[in-house]
Amino acid sequence: MRKAKILATLGPASESRETLEAMLRAGLNAVRINMSHGTREEHEVRIRTARETAASLGIPLAVLVDLSGPKIRTRGLKDGKGVMLEEGQRFTITTRDVEGTQDEVSTNFDHLPASVGPGSRVLIDDGAIELTVEKTTDTDVVTRCVTGGKLLERKGINLPHTPLPIPSLTDKDRADLEWAMGQNVDYIALSFVRTAADCKEVKDLIKQLNKRHLGRALLVAKIEKAEAIENLDEIIQETDGVMVARGDLGVETSVELVPVYQKRIIEKAVANDRFVITATQMLQSMIEAPTPTRAEASDVANAVWDGSDAVMLSAETASGKYPVESIKTMARIIDSAESLKSEYQSPVKLGLAPSGRTSQALCKAAASAAAEMQTDKVAVFTESG
């Protein structure tokens, strides 16, 4: 029986009943609804279709709603066409309402000129384009292009190591959270968490909006900012689970640190009885190809060996050409990884110190009893999931 679960993002490529049925049969355990794209009406249909399909097959299915968070983006471009930015050229990001060109583009973040200064790094489209700030005005950020590339409309802007005067929970997030609780979803993922206070605010809202008789939706803190790494211990104490959101984490810090942070996040979460989802570009090549690269297969396996409770697919299933094959491939890799004999695996560190929680005591006792009895199966009865 596969232990690590598969979480897949729903989108145009995976919203039909036929595709969902094939994905469920292939090993899908949970679906992710990305509130950064699509409308609530579209997402409601997807949730209903996924649940009905799973029920018809007798397969349990969880639903996770991923809140957008305060994502800074560029705005539109002239005629909707991308523009090429060349290394060494000047480029302006402005809060003025302009039609984007090769020389300037608008942003949705009105505080950008006040948030950066000469020498600040500005990354666009997950770091594909890098700019360095030369000067600012009341409305403009004038930059020099360090790494060029094609700029498309509404791409994300990252400001590594720059504190931003914006809350982790936006007005849109609040409205989306209320809608999600009305859908009786199982998990809420909070984007761009910086402190434990961010988690507490959302956790309190979940409790207020909860419509269940037993239990509530669980909070997933997405670790994707340098501030979250600095405050990791406090965040873990305040959340139910964490997501290693490697995309923005690699842009907000640096790509070579992502594997280090992944292991650190997972180890601390497991030691504190928090579940872990490892995400982003796990089978990225399968957006266009029917098979993964060898490096991707190793990446998924290592996430499992690190102690991930679930691994996530994003564009692979939301908009890729091979959503069903992606699920099948991930299930096979997990099965293979979990077949490795325990003596060859690095032991997962459980419970750094007694917590005083009944749940932790029971789990430790069950694990100890299973090891003593040399059994690999433990039945758990729960009213809340």
Supply 165's token pair. 């005067």
Q: 83-108: buried (b, 16+ CB within 10 Å) or exposed (e) per residue?
A: bebeeeeebbbbbeeeebeeebbbbe
Q: Which amino acid is at 255?
A: V
Given the residues 5, 9, 19, 32, the one annotated as active site: 32
Cα-only R_g, the chain: 22
Annotated catalytic residue 136: no
Give the active site residue among 75, 222, 268, 328: 222
Helix (H) or strand (E) holding 84: strand 83-85
Catalytic-residue membership of 17? no
**What is the residue type of 299?**
D
Distance, in Å, from the CA atom of 119 to the CA atom of 133, rounded to the nearest integer, reads: 5
Tell me which DSSP letter residue 220 carries: E
Q: What tokens does 89 get? A: 């050229």
Residues 332 and 4 sit within 8 Å (Cβ to Cβ): no
- State the amino acid at position 27 in one-letter form: G
Selected catalytic residue, list 2, 40, 71, 73: 73
In the residue annotation, 332 being an active-site residue is answered as no
Distance from C-alpha of 328 to C-alpha of 232, rounded to nearest angstrom: 33
Q: How many helices (H) and strands (E) does the chain have?
A: 13, 17
Catalytic residue among 280, 317, 328, 329: 280
Using CA atoms, how far apart are residues 281 and 295, in angstroms rounded to an integer? 11
DSSP H helical ranges for 4-62: 17-26, 40-57
- CA 175 vs CA 35, 205, 291: distances in Å: 11, 11, 39
Q: Is 32 a catalytic residue?
A: yes
CA distance 383 to 216: 11
What are the catalytic residues?
Answer: 32, 73, 222, 280
